[in-house]
Structures are given as C-alpha cells and as structure tokens.
Amino acid sequence: MTQQSEWEPKLLSFLCRWCSYAGADLAGISRKKYPANIRIIKVPCSSRVDSLFIIKALRLGFDGVLISGCHPGECHYLTGNYRARRRIAITKKFLEYLGVEPQRVQASWVSASEGGKFAEVVAEVTEGLKEVGPNRLFSERKLNGKEAKTGSQSTTRAEQG
C-alpha cells in the first residue's frame, strides 16, 4: 500500500439544523456507513455559512468543506439556501483565483428523512477530495508557520455560528 492511498482527506461540514443535521443523525441511527473523516458544525441555516468560514477551514488544514441544507424551496427562512448557493459559487471562484481547487468546496441538499443520501454525499465528497489530493494551501501556510494563531480564532468563530 502506498502512502498516497493511505491518506484520508479531512472534511469539515456545515449542516443546517433543520434538515441536513437531522439527516446526518438519521444516518447514524440507521447505521448507514460513511467515511469517519468528517467533522460537523451545526448551523441554523445554510445561509449562515460565511465565505470566511470556508476559507478559514481550508487554512486550518481541512482538505474540503461541505455545506448542506434544506432542499431548494424548503428553507425554514424561505430563501436562505438560495443565498447560500450563490455565496458558495462566488467563494469557489475566489478560491480558484487564489490557486485553490474549487472542488474542495461542495454543497448538497439533504432533508431530515434522507439519512441514506447524507451517507452517499459524504462518501462522494470524500472520493472527490481523494482525487484532488491534500490541501496545498494549508501546507504552504504550515511551512511559513503562520496558521496557528489565525486558526484558533477562526475555530472559535465557526463554532459560535
């Protein structure tokens, strides 16, 4: 087995509390298998996820970020997921401009009753990240020794969300 095949990407996910977080819960209760490399932050709505949360997660060393919320038209705040979708698209373009692979940021719509779909999405995103490879931006920051101070501040802000 080569070192590359042993590498598992670290995935940070922001899940809307109304749909996707409940979907993740259902996946667990239903004993659906999905990669264990995911870390979850519960947010009130997918629109709560600021572009800075995504960028800072990548700077902290996560290889990818998944934002998941209610299906279009089913957001509890009416248009939150539409705003999230637009913001994610802009963030991906910005990351591309910075030289970061935009595939590191993914969005999905998972309802509370779709535990199986949640497990599939996590597996799909993880496979996609394996193709993209380790987060180069973080590696560069680590070499420069700059990420530690910024990292602890951003974790606190993201957790408050």
Binding site for ligand FES (CB under 6 A): 16, 18-19, 45-47, 69-70, 75-77, 80-81
The answer to whether 81 and 26 are in contact (CB under 8 A) is no
Of 19 and 129, nearer to ligand FES (C-beta) is 19
Nearest alpha-carbon partner for 156 in 9, 56, 46, 20: 56
In the complex with ligand FES, the residue whose CB is nearer, 9 or 23, is 23
Q: What is the nearest approach in angstroms of ligand FES to the Cβ of residue 124?
A: 20
Q: Give the closest residue to 66 by CA, choosing from 29, 38, 24.
A: 38
Q: Measured from the CB of residue 111, what is the shortest distance to ligand FES in angstroms?
A: 9
Q: Which is nearer to ligand FES, 66 or 137 (CB)?
A: 66
If the CB atoms of residues 75 and 129 are measured against ligand FES, the closer one turns out to be 75
Q: How far is the CB of 50 from ligand FES (least distance, A)?
A: 14
Q: Can you list the positions of beta strands (E) in the chain?
A: 11-16, 38-43, 64-69, 105-109
Encoding tokens for residue 104?
A: 């590191």
**Cβ atoms of residues 56 and 159 within 8 Å:** no
Q: Which residues contact 39 (CB under 8 A, 6 or more apart)?
A: 10, 11, 12, 13, 62
Q: Nearest residue by C-beta to ligand FES?
A: 69
In angstroms, give the least distance from the CB of 43 to ligand FES: 9
Taking the least distance from each CB to ligand FES, the nearer of 114 and 147 is: 114
Residue 29 CB, shortest distance to ligand FES, in Å, is: 20
Q: How far apart are CA 107 and CA 118, in angstroms?
A: 12
